[in-house]
Structure 1
Amino acid sequence: MNLSEICIIKRDGKQERFSASKITGAIGKAFEATGLDKHDESIEEITRRVIAHFTGNTVGVEEIQDLVETELMKVQPEVAKKYIIYRQWRNTERERKTHIKHVMDGIVAIDRNDINLSNANMSSHTPAGQMMTFASEITKDYTYKYLLPKPYAEAHQLGDIHIHDLDYYPTKTTTCIQYDLDDLFERGFHTKNGSIRTPQSIQSYATLATIIFQTNQNEQHGGQAIPAFDFFMAKGVLKSFQKIVASMLSFCIEMKGQAVDERTLLEVVRLHVATILLGESEKSALVSVLNGQGFDVTTDELTHILYKAYAQTRKDTHQAMEGFIHNLNTMHSRGGNQVVFSSINYGTDTSAEGRMVIQELLRATVEGLGTRGEVPVFPIQIFKVKDGVSYSDADYERAMKDFDAALAGEMTFEAPNFDLFLQACQTTAKALFPNFMFLDTPFNRHEKWRADDPKRYRYELATMGCRTRVFENLNGEKTSLGRGNLSFTTMNLPRLAIEARIKAESMADNHTSDAVEREAKAIFLDAVREMSGFIAEQLYTRYRYQRTALARQFPFMMGNNVWKGGGQLNPNDEVGDVLDQGTLGIGFIGGHNAMVALYGKGHGHSRKAWNTLYEAVEVMNEVADAYKQKYRLNYSVLATPAEGLSGRFTRMDKRKYGIIEGVNDRDYYVNSFHVDVKEPISIIEKIKSEAPFHALTRGGHITYVELDGEAQKNVRSIAKIVKVMHDENIGYGSINHPVDTCHHCGYKGVIYDKCPICRSENILRMRRITGYLTGDLNSWNSAKRAEEHDRVKHA
């Protein structure tokens, strides 16, 4: 055959003259990728064998590549594997060029697709939302082509891993942060257009907290959290109280005909009024001081003034908390009408001021937004359950004997904030928040925590509402303050299990079910170890890139020392080692689906499956620990909060393996280690099954239970569930239940098809997604809608 007469038919239909060197070059690259060189004779021989199959004067590109695969498999299977992977990746790249056009068309037409609905907190159909989505898709493409090393780009595009927030990769941002508000408020801080002084009232404290949230959100791509909201706001309550007391004293004294220097009077009050609840001896001392300063005030007058000032301070605090909630649900921090992914942790400040903050915050949360009291989506609220502070078994038993009286405040408790715990349960029953963080779970304890430490919050774990956990620290203080997650990447756990099962079935000498399962388990655990190491290296690569960011790229976060250590940098300094206190997350999804792939059963009711999943997460931790030592960075295992990812892996695995019953036959993979959402399992069984995984996923986790009916009518059941979580060493938990509101008449309750009052079908259905709430299921992507539909109510 005359090779010069052969034409190659390209994928676009065009023809070009055949060149054997192109085949030789492609095979040579596959050899190099396998680590083999100096095999010129083998490469030439394979090329000749491929050409020998040609039967006509034309041959297609895909046909040639098939022939190359066939001939390589005969002599060099490992090289063939590299060639196949490279070919698949190149095909994916070509598809992306066509795909990106379809994506852009879908954004322009505001189609209801999973790209436009990838973020339930964003209105992608608005002009700014469209611009955000355009930018996101184009930036991802740029990242694939120019920033990601090829192995990681391939692994992501082929669905082996998912590198989160790829659209923000070029910006070098970190994911999230927990604020030390006390430090920010005491020092003051600056924004682009000016400086902010230390606030002097609870209204200012609450308003500035929202401004900090909003400003810093533009410098990170994930959530923001306040670790000790009650402690940080308490000073604002006291300052308001002192100002009101001074103002009322001034009025009282002037009514007696005395001239008053209000500044001096306020200084006296600030010096001698250290709490909003003064005892009798403190009142007497203040009267003596005032009289000594020439201010004529009696004890009875002061008592009345303090009473009125306390009532006014509570009103001001309520308005401040109401404004805080309203602002965080209306202030847009980015295009697409996105509000801040905000979280607040609280529950352990036992001061009268801190307690007042939380009492009024919870009341404002129950009251809700607007004239019809819609449930607030933000902030995500987390109540910190701490033995002896906000909880005790003795208090729980006492409350259960007469729960209505306990809820009404008609009992006294040994734990000073146990009444707030009950109020938190009542609020959860109405508004789905707060969630619950358990500080005495062994892995959440801090050895430095002391009850008499006024800043003990530094040693209390706090969390992002979505579940991201930042606590342990190789490179500084073990705390949540001033730290955050750098980045995280998720492995496709079901794919590893599917591949393991396929290999085991082809390798097992004895094809009994037990033999195949044993072999599949061994292959699976080895694959988990290998993939965890692969992800750890990818995270390190991203970290090295993030280090090169300049401090001036994050003027608020670094310039104000929000990220601890950033305040020491000059604007043109690289952030470098300042990032070392952040965390790197090795994530996973689809534990249930992976176990079905291996055993035909999920881990909810199969001990064998549960043990294997637990061993897999232990392997991830072994790798994380090894990489902690290798790079001296805070690696951890994360139970991935999958929203956009929930359906991506599933779609890709259906294309690759076909539909496998019980594994990928739905639109989503079940989150992390969670028991299947369709599993008929009791509340206690679910909590007991998932609790041990919390100790292994210190990058973040959450366990939730799904209730049916109106929880607000049975607050006792909420308290019981929280106690079970406490006793079973859950780290972080939440309780889901239907919260529906009729847009037409405002009726609230469990609404099925139509409002029972006005028969309207225009219903707001509040549900939880990956840790936070959304008020419209239509804003969820198809995978998460399918998951919500399948959620079984736990008995």
Structure 2
Amino acid sequence: MKDMRAMAALPIQAKTCVLKNNGIYEKFSYEKIVKSCLMVGASLWAAEKIATDVATAVYNGISTAEIKILVHDSLKKIDGKAAGKYLAANQLKVRTTRDTIEPFDKSKIEKTLIVETHASEDLAGEIATDACKELKKLDVEYLTAPMIREIVNTKLVEHGLETLRRKYTRVGIPVYNITNLIKNGSRDNANMIHNPETVHKYVADEALKQYALLHILPNELADAHMGGDIHIHDLEFFAGRPINCLQHDLRVFIKNGLKVDGTGDHTSVAGPPNHIETLMNHTGEIMLAAQQNMSGGQSMSLWNVFVAPFAAGLPYEKVKQAVQMLIYNLNMAYAARGSQVPFTSINLEFTVPDFLKDEPAYGPKGKRVGTYGDFEEETRLLQRAFTETLLDGDSEGKPHLFPNTIYVLRKECLKEEFDEDIRRVHELSAKFGTSYFINMLPDYRGNLANYMGCRTSLNDDWTGDWSQDCFRTGNLAYVTLNLPRIAYNSKDDSDIFEYLDSYLNLAEQTLMLRREQALNCLNDYNLLPFLSQRPNDEDGTYYRIENSTMSFGFVGLNEMLRSYLGAGIEDKGANEFGLRVVDYINERAAKLKDETGLRWSVLQTPAESTAYRFATLDMEKYRDKIIAQGDEKTAYYTNSSHVPVNADILLPEKVKIESQYHSKTLGGHIFHAFMGESYSDPDALMSLTDKIARKSDIGFWAYSSALSFCLKCKTLMKGLQDNCATCGEQKEVEWYDRITGYVQQVGRSKSASGGWNPGKMQELLDRKRF
């Protein structure tokens, strides 16, 4: 294991560093020059001489383009043939529609012509050769896939092959890709089914991604994303829907009524609700309306406390029926982006929190009705109704997948009188594994913390006012750092933290551009009317961008440690270094808070696709160095600072390791306890919850159960079953499990296609069950 002693990152100016195309500095490497020359056929003697000549000519801050010119000029004097190969290998680079940067390869043109137009091999070779000649004449830093396709189409027209040109042309995305989407769908988002709306979404997404990469982001940021140094989430929403997560304040709509279009000019306007059924309908409509203006999850905290005045004096059966209406509406409204149900969360309290008991309460018609402390019984009744409705499942016995239902554990409710309520929630955990828990007992907690989806969260540590800090705002955006790649490029601690600085610089620039675009959309473009509405004249716009968070995320801390130190996060010494890395990211966030006056945070990325994407890119670039989970086709990195899902350690040890990171990732975190195939005992889970809450710093967690559901006979089974235990059905058995932070269908058995990408499917199969 390498030396773990702290080493301050040396300033870039103290070394001879090279400025790469993606904006990252790295130390000049003699060895890389030698290797690049050898790869094009130069002799070892020639390679070493050229590297020596270049080393004497470089200066601090020299660009990679300048170094390539020096190498080519030197190589040309010694070996003209090798110089030609070097020029070909380094001159043409392609920005692909897969968000990667790759060397130009003529054979790929030939292959796409054969596949997409059914051209013969000879004809494809002829067209590709002609196109290649034209492309080499272009004086551009990068080729793009659309640029190449345009040249190829020109050559097809010149050859009189209009029929082939029509098949090969680009309509936002290639005709072939649209055809494939219509026939087979996509597996990028596990929350989307295959239907016409998802096809429309993916086609639009591709055009808007390219718009962001080509028009909004400068080259170095686009390159850093496509090359895999960082991941810019929700690129398709960067231009027009740049706000990620949102925490609603239900009291605003209780007092002021509802305008789902933000103005009331284009839709019916509802006044303040008078009945609980109306309020349930408004709750769902608020979520649907907000989904049109934002890209991520949305949540309502203190939900049952704020609804409690509407339940006063009502029989339990009527309260439960109203709650059922809300839950079914949120699960049946296929009206969000690409025909998804809205990505929603509800945070439930077991009792009225102490800090809220004297706050004014608002009830029917938006009128004051005392304080929330007057409605403790109704608060508990609503929580019970919500939990029992989830326990029932739908009419076929499947779990309700939305809203993500999050239960808040406070010192006020860890008393014997609440045992029945808390046990009922653990019955839900044992049956479906859909419930989450927020732990408000650790020292780093204040009065309120809320979670908005997979894990993004807000805490009352910004201004100290729980309402300002946690309501009508959210996570504006986050950018994820590829930590394993930093290790592959580093020889010592100094390298590690220099690369980390470079990646953080890229993330910072991206997030500031995202915020600028959000301000444009909210104010200048009038593009987000629901969020920018003013419910009354005194309280400003509904969405408070000044309180929103911009977050640094990260993936693969475990693989970074394994590559750099020879041991993963389970090792005490390696884990200490991992904590240093996350502390360093937090220090940057704190510094930016002071410098900009904005709210910066650090989160464990909900890497549904990013962990797979990073590993796949690194598999190509660092084949001799890469350390990843899975195999070559299903490689993935461990999410954020988690223990690997297949680690052979006991649950208490996993809690001990991961709890150290929750106070350092206040922008969002989660702990997964993956339950086994046998039915979990609710009392045992309840005992485990008590220990986690009282004895650890875990802030947010869930007991995740793998389930199988037979679509033929409607049997629900524990575990990932290939066959139905009741009717023996094989093809119609659907799997369910938690993907990153929410439970969703996986697909139909491990051999069938489903909603999860190959890396995430491999992680599912790798998960150790407790």
TM-score, reference length from structure 2: 0.73
Give CA-to-partner distance per residue, 1:653-707, whole Å, 9 cap, x none: 0100115464365421111000001101111111111001000001100001111
The one-letter amino acid paired with 1:439 is M
Q: 2:465 maps to what in 1?
A: 477
Distance 2:238 2:628 in 1: 31
> How many Å apart are 1:93 and its aligned residue?
4.8
Q: 1:349 maps to what in 2?
A: 351
SS in 2 for 1:670: coil
8 A Cα contact 1:104 1:134, kept in partner: no
Q: 1:791 maps to what in 2?
A: 767
Distance 2:501 2:522 in 1: 35
Distance 2:538 2:739 in 1: 30
Q: 1:382 maps to what in 2?
A: 406
The answer to whether 1:675 aligns with 2:643 is yes
The one-letter amino acid paired with 2:229 is D
Q: 2:11 maps to what in 1?
A: none
Equivalences for residues 51-70 of structure 1 within 5 A:
52=77, 55=80, 63-64=86-87
Distance 1:363 1:165 in 2: 35
8 A Cα contact 1:710 1:737, kept in partner: no
User: Gapped runs of 5+ residues in structure 2?
Assistant: 1-53, 93-100, 106-139, 150-168, 262-266, 353-375, 748-753
Distance 1:179 1:528 in 2: 34
SS in 1 for 2:400: coil
Distance 2:283 2:393 in 1: 19
8 A Cα contact 1:621 1:636, kept in partner: yes
SS in 1 for 2:554: strand
**Worse-matched range after superposition: 621-630 or 715-724:** 715-724
SS in 1 for 2:659: helix
The answer to whether 1:133 aligns with 2:101 is no
Q: Which of 437, 449, 459 matches 1:461? A: 449
8 A Cα contact 1:203 1:316, kept in partner: no
Equivalences for residues 331-410 of structure 1 within 5 A:
331-350=333-352, 351-370=376-395, 372-387=396-411, 389-392=412-415, 395=416
Q: 2:144 maps to what in 1?
A: 94
SS in 2 for 1:139: helix
> How many Å apart are 1:742 and its aligned residue?
2.0
SS in 2 for 1:556: helix
Q: 1:499 maps to what in 2?
A: 489
8 A Cα contact 1:556 1:562, kept in partner: no
8 A Cα contact 1:597 1:663, kept in partner: no
Distance 1:187 1:607 in 2: 54
8 A Cα contact 1:744 1:760, kept in partner: yes
> How many Å apart are 1:791 and its aligned residue?
0.4
Q: 2:507 maps to what in 1?
A: 535
- Taking structure 1 as reference, are residues 47 and 739 closer, same or farther at Cα in structure 2, changes over 3 Å only? closer
Q: Which of 671, 692, 696 matches 1:725? A: 692
- Taking structure 1 as reference, are residues 49 and 749 closer, same or farther at Cα in structure 2, changes over 3 Å only? closer
> How many Å apart are 1:525 and its aligned residue?
3.2
Q: 1:153 maps to what in 2?
A: 222
The one-letter amino acid paired with 2:725 is P
8 A Cα contact 1:382 1:465, kept in partner: no
> How many Å apart are 1:537 and its aligned residue?
2.8
Give CA-to-partner distance per residue, 1:722-777, whole Å, 9 cap, x none: 12321212110111122222222222232533222211122232210111111233
Q: Which of 475, 478, 485 matches 1:488? A: 478
The one-letter amino acid paired with 1:763 is V
- Taking structure 1 as reference, are residues 704 and 112 closer, same or farther at Cα in structure 2, changes over 3 Å only? farther
Distance 2:638 2:538 in 1: 36
Q: Which of 573, 578, 598 matches 2:564? A: 598
Distance 1:234 1:147 in 2: 46
The one-letter amino acid paired with 2:607 is A
- Taking structure 1 as reference, are residues 673 and 48 closer, same or farther at Cα in structure 2, changes over 3 Å only? closer
Distance 2:78 2:698 in 1: 63
Q: 2:619 maps to what in 1?
A: 654
Distance 1:731 1:688 in 2: 12
Distance 1:444 1:731 in 2: 9
- Taking structure 1 as reference, are residues 315 and 524 closer, same or farther at Cα in structure 2, changes over 3 Å only? same
Q: Which of 296, 306, 318 matches 2:320? A: 318
Distance 2:224 2:639 in 1: 20
Q: 1:223 maps to what in 2?
A: 297
Q: 2:129 maps to what in 1?
A: none
Q: 1:629 maps to what in 2?
A: 594
SS in 1 for 2:602: strand
Give CA-to-partner distance per residue, 1:157-206, whole Å, 9 cap, x none: 11000011111111153101111101211111213312111112221111
Distance 1:743 1:536 in 2: 47
8 A Cα contact 1:710 1:738, kept in partner: no
- Taking structure 1 as reference, are residues 562 and 737 closer, same or farther at Cα in structure 2, changes over 3 Å only? farther
> How many Å apart are 1:583 and its aligned residue?
0.2
8 A Cα contact 2:619 2:626, kept in partner: no
**Worse-matched range after superposition: 208-217 or 326-335:** 326-335
- Larger helix share, 1 or 2: 1
Q: 2:257 maps to what in 1?
A: 188
SS in 2 for 1:706: strand
Number of corresponding residues: 608
8 A Cα contact 2:629 2:636, kept in partner: yes
- Taking structure 1 as reference, are residues 669 and 86 closer, same or farther at Cα in structure 2, changes over 3 Å only? closer
Q: 2:545 maps to what in 1?
A: 579
Give CA-to-partner distance per residue, 1:505-553, whole Å, 9 cap, x none: xxxxxxxxxxxxxx3x442233223322331232123222322224432
Give CA-to-partner distance per residue, 1:381-432, whole Å, 9 cap, x none: 0000001x2214xx3xxxxxxxxxxxxxxxxx2xxx4432221111111121
Distance 1:32 1:233 in 2: 66
The answer to whether 1:34 aligns with 2:61 is yes
Q: 2:608 maps to what in 1?
A: 643
Give CA-to-partner distance per residue, 1:255-286, whole Å, 9 cap, x none: xxxxxxxxxxxxxxxxxxxxxxxxxxxxxxxx
> How many Å apart are 1:354 and its aligned residue?
1.2
- Taking structure 1 as reference, are residues 607 and 564 closer, same or farther at Cα in structure 2, changes over 3 Å only? farther
8 A Cα contact 2:435 2:703, kept in partner: no
The answer to whether 1:119 aligns with 2:95 is no
Q: Which of 554, 569, 584 matches 1:588? A: 554
- Taking structure 1 as reference, are residues 368 and 563 closer, same or farther at Cα in structure 2, changes over 3 Å only? farther
Q: 1:449 maps to what in 2?
A: none
Q: 1:436 maps to what in 2?
A: 437
TM-score, reference length from structure 1: 0.71
- Taking structure 1 as reference, are residues 530 and 51 closer, same or farther at Cα in structure 2, changes over 3 Å only? closer
The one-letter amino acid paired with 1:724 is K
The one-letter amino acid paired with 2:768 is V
8 A Cα contact 2:242 2:517, kept in partner: no
8 A Cα contact 1:439 1:445, kept in partner: yes
8 A Cα contact 1:215 1:333, kept in partner: no
The one-letter amino acid paired with 2:726 is I
The one-letter amino acid paired with 1:357 is L
8 A Cα contact 2:522 2:529, kept in partner: no
The one-letter amino acid paired with 2:675 is L
> How many Å apart are 1:31 and its aligned residue?
9.2
The one-letter amino acid paired with 1:567 is T
SS in 2 for 1:329: helix
The one-letter amino acid paired with 1:722 is T
Q: 2:212 maps to what in 1?
A: 143
Q: 1:753 maps to what in 2?
A: 722
- Taking structure 1 as reference, are residues 561 and 534 closer, same or farther at Cα in structure 2, changes over 3 Å only? farther
Distance 1:46 1:765 in 2: 55
The answer to whether 1:525 aligns with 2:490 is no
8 A Cα contact 2:630 2:762, kept in partner: no
- Taking structure 1 as reference, are residues 523 and 352 closer, same or farther at Cα in structure 2, changes over 3 Å only? same
Q: 1:764 maps to what in 2?
A: 734
8 A Cα contact 2:522 2:531, kept in partner: no
